[in-house]
Amino acid sequence: MSEIHHDAVGIGNAIVDVIANADEAFLIRHGLAKGGMTLIDEARAESLYAAMAAGIESSGGSAANTIAALASLGGTGGFIGKVRDDTLGKVFAHDIRAGGIAYVTAPATDGKATARCLIFVTPDAQRTMQTFLGASIDLGPDDIQPEMIAQASYTYLEGYLWDPPECKKAFLKAAKIAHDAGRKVALSLSDAFCVERHRADFLDLVTDHVDVLFANEAEITSLFQAPNFDEALQKVRGRVGLAALTRSEKGSVIVAGDDVHVVDAIRQDRLVDTTGAGDAYAAGFLFGLARGRTVVESARIGGLAAAEVISHFGARPKTPLRDLLARHPV
Kindly list the residues in this chain that would bind its own copies in the complex (CB under 8 A): 20-21, 49-50, 52-59, 68, 86-88, 91, 94-96, 98-99, 312-314, 316, 318
Q: Measured from the CB atom, is 29 or 94 closer to its own copies?
A: 94
Strands, E, within 201-270: which ranges?
A: 212-216, 242-246, 252-256, 259-263
Based on CB atoms, which residue is closest to its own copies, 136 or 151? 136
Do the Cβ atoms of 186 and 161 come closer than 8 Å? no
Beta strands in the chain (DSSP E): 6-11, 15-21, 37-39, 56-60, 77-80, 102-103, 115-121, 127-132, 152-158, 184-188, 212-216, 242-246, 252-256, 259-263
Q: What's the sign of the alpha-carbon dihedral 192, 197, 198, 199?
A: positive
**What is the closest distance, in whole angstroms, from the C-beta atom of residue 55 to its own copies in the complex?**
7
Of 68 and 73, which has the nearer Cβ to its own copies? 68
In angstroms, what is the minimal distance from the CB of 46 to its own copies?
Answer: 10
Q: Give min distance, CB of 214 to its own copies, in A.
A: 23
- Phi then psi dihedrals of residue 179, to 5 deg: -65, -40
Nearer to its own copies, 96 or 205 (CB): 96
Cα separation, 68 vs 271, in Å, equals 21
Q: Which is nearer to its own copies, 4 or 48 (CB)?
A: 48
For residue 152, give the 3-state DSSP assignment: strand
The least distance separating its own copies from the CB of residue 205, rounded to whole angstroms, comes to 31
**Considering the complex, what minimum distance in angstroms separates the CB of residue 108 from its own copies?**
16
